Amino acid sequence: MGDFDIPAADDDLLKAITSKGLRMPDALRGEQGLNLEKDKRYDQILHYPKFTKCFTNQTGVLDFYEGGIDKLYPNEKLSKLEFTYELSDHLPLWIQVDTDTDAEKIDQILCASPRFAPAD
């Protein structure tokens, strides 16, 4: 996870990072607008895809600003800019990860073994 300040999915920095093998879970590709204005991407969740089945495709953005901030700041009238200094100007991403990858690990071990390799 990281605050990479990458404003778009086609940004050169994201291309450089992913050129080294890091990948974004498929379900996050459609998420757009992770800043309060919802017009820039900024943050990413990237991983090395050793165990591909650990990502459940359950993802999202926690929009803590939607509906206003009156309950967080009942006695203050903060502008959106002022609020960014109080909490954040980025909406957090979340993903659900399946940590039970034993079956995939066993498959990888078996496929790597010459004893269990498919016949030509």
Res. 10: pLDDT tops 60: yes
Q: Cα–Cα distance between 6 and 22 in angstroms, integer? A: 15
Residue of 58, 60, 88, 86 whose CA lies nearest to 73: 86
d(CA 1, CA 28): 12
**21 to 14, 46, 110: CA distances (angstroms):** 11, 10, 24
- Model pLDDT, residue 5: 76
pLDDT digits (tens, 9 = 90+) for 70-114: 888 889 888 888 988 888 888 888 888 877 677 777 777 777 766
Torsional sign, CA 74, 80, 81, 83: positive
Q: What is the pLDDT of residue 105?
A: 72
Predicted confidence (pLDDT) per residue in 14-68, tens digit: 888 889 888 887 777 776 778 888 888 778 888 777 766 777 778 888 888 888 8
